Structure 1
Amino acid sequence: MEWKLTREPLASLEMDAIIVFHANEGKSVQGVAREVDEALGFRISNLIAAGEISGDFAEVTDMHNWGKIPAGRVFVVGLGDEGKLELHSFKNAVATAARAAKHKKVKSLGIDCPSFMIERYNSVDVIQSIVEGIELGSYQHHSYKSEDKSESLEEIRVFGDQVKDSAFAAGVERGRIFARATNFARYLVHEPANFMTPEALADHARAIAEKRGIELDILTEDRLRELGMNALLSVAEGSANRPRMIVLSYKGAPESDDVIGLVGKGVTFDSGGLQLKPGKGMGEMKDDMGGAAAVLAAMDAIGELRPHSNVIAVIPACENMTGSRAFRPGDVIRSFSGKTIEVHHTDAEGRLILADAIAYAKHLGATRLVDIATLTGGVVVALGHVASGLMSNDAQWAEEVKKAARIAGERVWELPMYEEYEQYVDSEIADVKNDAGSTASCIQGGLFLRRFAEPVPWVHLDIAGTVTAPEEKGIFVKGATGTGVRTLIQLAICRG
Structure 2
Amino acid sequence: MQFKISREPITTLASDCIIITHTEDKDMLLGLAKEVDEKMDHRISQLIAEKEIKGKFGEVTLLHTWGKIPAKRVLVLGLGKEEKLTLEKARSAYAIAARKAQEIGVSELTLAVSQKYKDIWNPVDLGQAVVEGIVLGTYQFKPYKTKTEIENKIERVIISVKDISIDAVEAGVVRGEIFAESQNLARDFSNEPANKMTPTILAEKAKEIAKKHHLEISILEKEQLEELNMGAFLAVSKGSTEPPKMIVIKYIGAPDSKDMIGLVGKGITFDSGGIQIKPDKNMDEMKGDMAGAAAVLGAINAIGALKPHVNVIGVISACENMVSGEAVHPGDVVETFSGKTVEIKHTDAEGRLILSDAISYAKHLGATKLVDVATLTGSIISALGHHIIGLFSNNMDWTEEVKAAAKISGEKVWELPLDDDYAELIESDIADMVNDAGSPAGAIQGGMFLKEFAGETPWVHLDIAGTSDVTKTSGINPKGATGVAVRTMIALVLRFSGN
Common topology (TM > 0.5): yes
In 2, distance between residues paired with 1:318 and 1:407? 33
Counterpart in the other structure of 1:79: 79
Quick check: 1:18–1:71 contact (8 Å CA) kept in 2? yes
In 2, distance between residues paired with 1:394 and 1:235? 29
Counterpart in the other structure of 1:450: 451
Aligned to 2:118, the other structure's residue is in SS state: helix
In 2, distance between residues paired with 1:142 and 1:457? 40
Counterpart in the other structure of 1:37: 37
Aligned to 1:163, the other structure's residue is in SS state: coil
Counterpart code for 2:6: T
Aligned to 1:10, the other structure's residue is in SS state: coil
Quick check: 1:21–1:112 contact (8 Å CA) kept in 2? no
In 2, distance between residues paired with 1:78 and 1:243? 49
In 2, distance between residues paired with 1:8 and 1:37? 17
Counterpart code for 1:179: A
Matched, 1:182 2:186: no
Deviations 1:110-167 (A, max 9, x none): 1121422222112111111111111111111123021354221011111111233322
Aligned to 2:371, the other structure's residue is in SS state: strand
In 1, distance between residues paired with 2:307 and 2:148? 36
Deviations 1:308-332 (A, max 9, x none): 1111110000000001110010000
Shift of 1:261: 0.6
Counterpart code for 2:123: S
In 2, distance between residues paired with 1:196 and 1:451? 30
Deviations 1:243-301 (A, max 9, x none): 00000011111111111111000000000000000000100000000000000111011
In 2, distance between residues paired with 1:213 and 1:455? 32
Deviations 1:211-250 (A, max 9, x none): 1111101000110000001111110000000100000011
The within-5 A match list for 1:194-233 is 194-233=195-234
In 2, distance between residues paired with 1:437 and 1:113? 53
In 1, distance between residues paired with 2:337 and 2:315? 14
Quick check: 2:393–2:459 contact (8 Å CA) kept in 1? yes
Of stretches 135-144 and 384-393 in structure 1, the one that deviates more from structure 2 is 135-144
Structure 2 residue runs of 5 or longer lacking an equivalent are none
Quick check: 2:126–2:169 contact (8 Å CA) kept in 1? no
In 2, distance between residues paired with 1:252 and 1:82? 41
Aligned to 1:246, the other structure's residue is in SS state: strand
Counterpart code for 2:365: L
In 1, distance between residues paired with 2:22 and 2:52? 13
Aligned to 1:11, the other structure's residue is in SS state: coil
Counterpart in the other structure of 1:155: 156
In 1, distance between residues paired with 2:18 and 2:416? 43
Counterpart code for 1:121: W
Counterpart in the other structure of 1:311: 312
Quick check: 2:114–2:162 contact (8 Å CA) kept in 1? no
In 1, distance between residues paired with 2:90 and 2:375? 28
Counterpart code for 1:210: K
Quick check: 2:9–2:162 contact (8 Å CA) kept in 1? no
The within-5 A match list for 1:125-274 is 125-147=125-147, 149=149, 150-274=151-275
Counterpart in the other structure of 1:386: 387
The within-5 A match list for 1:317-396 is 317-396=318-397
Counterpart code for 1:32: L
In 2, distance between residues paired with 1:214 and 1:333? 33
In 2, distance between residues paired with 1:42 and 1:106? 24
In 1, distance between residues paired with 2:199 and 2:440? 32
Counterpart in the other structure of 1:295: 296
Quick check: 1:188–1:196 contact (8 Å CA) kept in 2? yes
In 2, distance between residues paired with 1:104 and 1:51? 24
Quick check: 2:270–2:321 contact (8 Å CA) kept in 1? yes
Counterpart in the other structure of 1:50: 50
In 2, distance between residues paired with 1:261 and 1:148? 44
Deviations 1:414-444 (A, max 9, x none): 0111222111111111111001112110111
Structure 1 residue runs of 5 or longer lacking an equivalent are none
In 1, distance between residues paired with 2:166 and 2:54? 34
Counterpart code for 1:147: K
Counterpart code for 1:459: V
Quick check: 2:374–2:465 contact (8 Å CA) kept in 1? yes
Of stretches 219-228 and 147-156 in structure 1, the one that deviates more from structure 2 is 147-156
Counterpart in the other structure of 1:102: 102
Counterpart in the other structure of 2:118: 118
In 1, distance between residues paired with 2:340 and 2:427? 12
In 2, distance between residues paired with 1:111 and 1:419? 53
In 1, distance between residues paired with 2:148 and 2:417? 47
Counterpart code for 2:166: D
Quick check: 2:377–2:443 contact (8 Å CA) kept in 1? yes
Number of corresponding residues: 496
Q: TM-score, normalised by structure 2?
A: 0.98
